[in-house]
A and B are shown apart, each in its own frame.
Chain A
Amino acid sequence: MELFITELSKYAITLLMAFYAYESFAVFRYREESLRGGIYARQNFLMLFIHFSCFMVICFETGDMSYLFFYAFQQMVLFATAVLFHVIYPRANRLIINNMCMLLSIGFVILTRLSYEKAVKQFVIVAVSLAIAIVIPFFVHKLKFLKSLTWIYALAGSAALLVVLVLGKATHGSKISYSVAGVTFQPSEFVKIIFVFFIASALCEAADFYRVALTAAVAGIHVVILVVSKDLGSALIFFVVYVLMVFVATKEYRYLLAGIGGGAVSALAACLLFRHVQVRVQAWLDPWSEIDKGGYQITQSLFAISSGGWFGLGLFEGTPQSIPFVEADFIFSAIAEEMGIAFAMCLILVCLSCFLMFMDISLKLNDRFYQLIAFGLGVTYIFQVFLTIGGGSKFIPLTGVTLPLISYGGSSVLTTLVMFSIVEGLCMIRNDEEKEGQQTEKRQKRGSLKTKQAGSAEESNGMENVQERRKRNPKGKGALGGKQ
């Protein structure tokens, strides 16, 4: 009986996840958040089923029903997150919250399977991080002076990285963490956010050559410190985020080309100068010739990815622990092995859907500063996803970064949750802009054309209102929620 449930649930979980991934793109069919309610509700149900099915399988496979308690706690926290965000910030974007909870629950499942202790630790960190994250949209929305802290960001970011370089302890050859009172932090994670704020505030008013050069210098400091700390993954993320943000701020392709060119030259230089870069590149080009040395991690990861088949070996049926650091850098491979390639592909799609929503919000923001922040955070997120999944599957050389929201690691998950919350705050700012815009429009109409009908329609609430507004504004740029 248990065998039937565990075997069949493999297919069921994959199918539900495919539906979820579909819904997370179906959202973009509707231009207004108010029309997406059905999709979000379905997503919530799918999340619930997937999360529950996975834990049921874990219970049957281990014969230990007490995992259900752990599940219950997770479900409560995720449920509370979804509800609280919706209640406190009714005009925030629900796709981001849903995807965030979905990814967190997948992370809980696979971490529980890999190491119960680490999963519990991660769960506590996530719970605390969510409590922090939930107030962030409010501050982002209200604190207007964030735009003017340019040099504070620059100093804080560089200082944080420098402190680690000088005082931090080395883990596996790279100095990336720093312990305070028994809690280990990985400052490069938090600095990612500060860095995006720095670039955005430096370039939002003017993006002339002088300012680009100035930010380049600061960005260079960040990247160099990270390279010296041997944290190549983070260095790459900072570099790419910088280049792409400059590109968006200036709208000039030559900066993009210059960035790509500079990146290629420095990558080549790094390859020639640093032994540990050479090792990584060699392991990427031909991991098989040194399978017991430099190529060990990547080949073990490839073994895991390709052993599960489309539907996976099933939770607790594979041997993902054979990959070193599986719970941090190679969590994707563990998911592919036990939950299947199909599930893993859907997971990538959900990550991509988050990114698209970030970009959507960025595109709609009028204020340059906020637009650049939404864009920068989106790129930070998706590029990290790309580095970890691409690295683990030999698509690109391995850099050793975490899969946001899923991998084990407190700093990583806290940073990502804060990032997602900031974007929610930006989403509210965008709604303000929209509302303001409409009021101005309304005033102008009243004043010059005296078309009162349109105005009165605007003030009433309900379906006709929405239809009316869409008629007038076919591109769907009407206000969300209709709370005026």
Chain B
Amino acid sequence: MFRNGEKEIQKAKGHWGENNDYGKKRQSPTEHGSKQNSGNRNRPIMTVTYLFVAIFLGMMLYICQYFIVHRQELLNNSYNGRQQLFMSKNQRGKIYARGGEVLAQSDIGDNGSEVREYPYGNMFAHAVGYATHGRAGVEALGNYYLIQSNAPLEEKATMKAVGAKYHGDNIYTTLDVKMQEVAYKAMGAYKGAILVSETSTGKILAMVSKPDFDPNEIEGIWDSLVTDKESGILLNRTTQGMYPPGSTFKIITALEYIRENPETYQDYHFQCSGSYTDGTDRINCYHGQNHGDEDFTKAFAKSCNAAFAHIGLQLDKGKFHNTLEGLLFNKELPLHILYNKSRIQIGRDSTNGEMMQAAIGQGTTGMSPIHLNMITNAIANGGYVMKPYLIERVENTAGTVIKQFTPSGKTDLMTKQEADILKELMHSVVEEGTASRLKGLSYTAAGKTGSAEYSEVKEESHAWFTGFAPAQEPEISVTVIIEGAGSGGEYAVPVAKRIFDAYFGVS
């Protein structure tokens, strides 16, 4: 029917042309004979047929696409009773570190109920998360896999025979126990966040957020955690924390200045006297330091607020706005865990004071550590960033890989030239600037410090560092924020150094 349909329509066309009036009763078809049947091809019928076929194919495609894209979030929806269904059939799977260490597992208690165990206690509290009273961390991210079972049929049959639950699928994370431990200890009793990632892939090796909690005790401490709004223990500061980026933001200000002055940025000169004034607005250097005569590299390496306030005033507000959008400010990040969007207000109507504040990472700007880490990775990679991820693969109990995750979501944040210039600038911060504690080691490093003032009255600041190593062929990046510690160079850089040391095997 449909193979010859088109041809026959062509033939039939002439016939209709002459006899278009349906009302005129055609001569009896019998007189035309069966060959004239082709004259009866009704084009509208064909049109309607094709129309419905097209609509149905579209609908089938839509259903399949919708199911593939949304099945995880739909299963995780609290209104979907199938979670309970799976949990009643399957024992929640295990979560492993990349080295095979167990980070979370379920045991069947005496009364038959499942008890979730976290052998490392507080250390992985935010990274691995919890699975009662809602879910967080990998427990939330991988819930879809943990509650389903792809165990081999023989195993299921054995389990069914004794009336036991099937083993849920196991998750192998990208988390590295050694890196996590070093980072966790380096943070000490401070509040703050540390994120360690593999620059070229986006694998998260360590994710520390303090204050923390013992997920083994979550049942008992839940109520106090929820009522305690002050400390924000349940907040994963690496992704949900909103901090003033302080001087680490100068990376972005520098990028914009280079973009606007690609030929002449190296000719930049500034005479620092410890502060910069524009009208009534005055920007001071950290602790009123006087940096003297500076070129662009020195201003960046010494983290001179006065010079960057001066640079900030020379930027095109509209172009700066576009650059910030391109760097994912005020935008969704490619993350599946809970996070907050970084926010910044730069536009055509920004005042000089606002521009100066924004240029040195103060004012109303707020940034999450993971966002800063992604920008750091883009510089390390020569312009692009991969989507950060925590789950490496999903296996069934027999070790068959159910799902393998690979680096994905490559996004260009800047050009290779821009990244290379920033890489050099960040290297100079280590060689001749504020991160000199990373100088002269067995490995090279590059980065940017920050001392973000968060209070109007007190001279207190959050200590920031974001950087990567080795400086030329980067492998890992580290982003550290220590709340209220002081300057980045003094407090955050040593933490980063311990992590780099551990990674490169320096004792």
Give me the interface of A with B, judged by CB distance under 8 Å: 1, 3-4, 7, 28-29, 31, 203, 205-208, 244, 247-251, 256, 291-292, 296, 299-300, 302-303, 305-307, 309, 318-319, 322, 336, 341, 344-345, 348, 352, 355-356, 359-360, 362-368, 371, 375, 379, 382-383, 386, 389-390, 393-395, 433-434, 436-438, 440-441, 444, 473, 475, 477-478
Bound Cα distance A444, B35 (Å): 13
**What are 23 inter-chain pairs, A to B, with CB distance below 8 A?**
A3-B153, A3-B157, A7-B156, A31-B1, A203-B22, A205-B25, A249-B22, A251-B43, A299-B79, A303-B82, A306-B70, A307-B74, A319-B85, A341-B64, A352-B56, A356-B49, A366-B40, A371-B40, A375-B45, A437-B32, A473-B34, A473-B35, A477-B35
Q: Please state if B44 and A247 are interface contacts (CB–CB under 8 Å).
A: yes
B8 at the interface (CB under 8 A from A): yes
Q: Please state if B45 and A363 are interface contacts (CB–CB under 8 Å).
A: yes
Q: Please state if A306 and B34 are interface contacts (CB–CB under 8 Å).
A: no
Least CB separation from B24: chain A residue: A206
Bound Cα distance A303, B66 (Å): 11
Residues of A within 8 A of B43 (CB): 251
Q: Please state if A303 and B44 are interface contacts (CB–CB under 8 Å).
A: no
Known contacts being A4-B153, A393-B66, is A363 close to B40, with CB within 8 Å? yes
B222 at the interface (CB under 8 A from A): no
Residues of B within 8 A of A389 (CB): 59, 63
Q: Please state if B79 and A292 are interface contacts (CB–CB under 8 Å).
A: yes
Least CB separation from B157: chain A residue: A3
Bound Cα distance A206, B40 (Å): 16
Q: Please state if A395 and B59 are interface contacts (CB–CB under 8 Å).
A: yes
Q: Please state if A1 and B157 are interface contacts (CB–CB under 8 Å).
A: yes
B417 at the interface (CB under 8 A from A): no
Total CB contacts across the A-B interface at under 8 A: 172
Q: Please state if B40 and A345 are interface contacts (CB–CB under 8 Å).
A: no
Q: Please state if A206 and B22 are interface contacts (CB–CB under 8 Å).
A: yes
The number of residues on chain B lying at the interface, defined by a beta carbon within 8 Å of a beta carbon of chain A, is: 54
B277 at the interface (CB under 8 A from A): no
Bound Cα distance A247, B49 (Å): 13
Known contacts being A249-B22, A305-B67, is A319 close to B81, with CB within 8 Å? yes
Within the complex, the shortest CB–CB distance from A199 to chain B, in Å, comes to 14
Q: Which one of B3, B20, B34 contacts A441 once the chains associate, using CB atoms below 8 Å?
A: B34
Residues of A within 8 A of B71 (CB): 306-307, 309
Residues of B within 8 A of A364 (CB): 37, 40
Q: Please state if B63 and A247 are interface contacts (CB–CB under 8 Å).
A: no
B261 at the interface (CB under 8 A from A): no
Give me the interface of B with A, judged by CB distance under 8 Å: 1-4, 8, 16, 20, 22-23, 25, 29-38, 40-46, 48-49, 52-53, 55-56, 59-60, 62-64, 66-67, 70-71, 74-75, 77, 79-82, 85, 153, 156-157, 160
Bound Cα distance A444, B33 (Å): 9
Residues of A within 8 A of B35 (CB): 441, 473, 477
Known contacts being A3-B153, A477-B35, is A371 close to B42, with CB within 8 Å? yes
Known: A303-B75, A345-B60, A475-B38. 11 other contacts (CB 8 A): A1-B157, A3-B160, A248-B44, A256-B44, A303-B74, A303-B82, A306-B75, A359-B45, A363-B41, A473-B34, A475-B8
Q: Please state if B81 and A395 are interface contacts (CB–CB under 8 Å).
A: no
Q: Please state if B22 and A250 are interface contacts (CB–CB under 8 Å).
A: yes
Residues of B within 8 A of A341 (CB): 63-64, 67
Task: Tell which of B32, B53, B67 has the most Cβ of chain A within 10 Å.
Answer: B67
Q: Please state if B60 and A355 are interface contacts (CB–CB under 8 Å).
A: no
Bound Cα distance A450, B484 (Å): 110
Q: Please state if B63 and A393 are interface contacts (CB–CB under 8 Å).
A: yes
Task: Tell which of B1, B36, B60 has the most Cβ of chain A within 10 Å.
Answer: B1
Q: Please state if B33 and A363 are interface contacts (CB–CB under 8 Å).
A: no
Known contacts being A305-B67, A366-B37, A390-B59, is A205 close to B49, with CB within 8 Å? no
Residues of B within 8 A of A29 (CB): 3
Bound Cα distance A90, B504 (Å): 83
Q: Please state if B48 and A306 are interface contacts (CB–CB under 8 Å).
A: no
Q: Please state if A395 and B33 are interface contacts (CB–CB under 8 Å).
A: no
Least CB separation from B23: chain A residue: A206
Bound Cα distance A336, B66 (Å): 13
Bound Cα distance A43, B280 (Å): 87
Q: Please state if B60 and A441 are interface contacts (CB–CB under 8 Å).
A: no
Q: Please state if A303 and B34 are interface contacts (CB–CB under 8 Å).
A: no
Within the complex, the shortest CB–CB distance from A368 to chain B, in Å, comes to 8
Least CB separation from A440: chain B residue: B30
Within the complex, the shortest CB–CB distance from B428 to chain A, in Å, comes to 50
Least CB separation from A28: chain B residue: B1
Residues of A within 8 A of B49 (CB): 355-356, 359
Q: Please state if A348 and B22 are interface contacts (CB–CB under 8 Å).
A: no
Q: Please state if A345 and B22 are interface contacts (CB–CB under 8 Å).
A: no
Least CB separation from A304: chain B residue: B82
Bound Cα distance A333, B48 (Å): 27
Q: Which one of A31, A318, A440 contacts B31 once the chains associate, using CB atoms below 8 Å?
A: A440
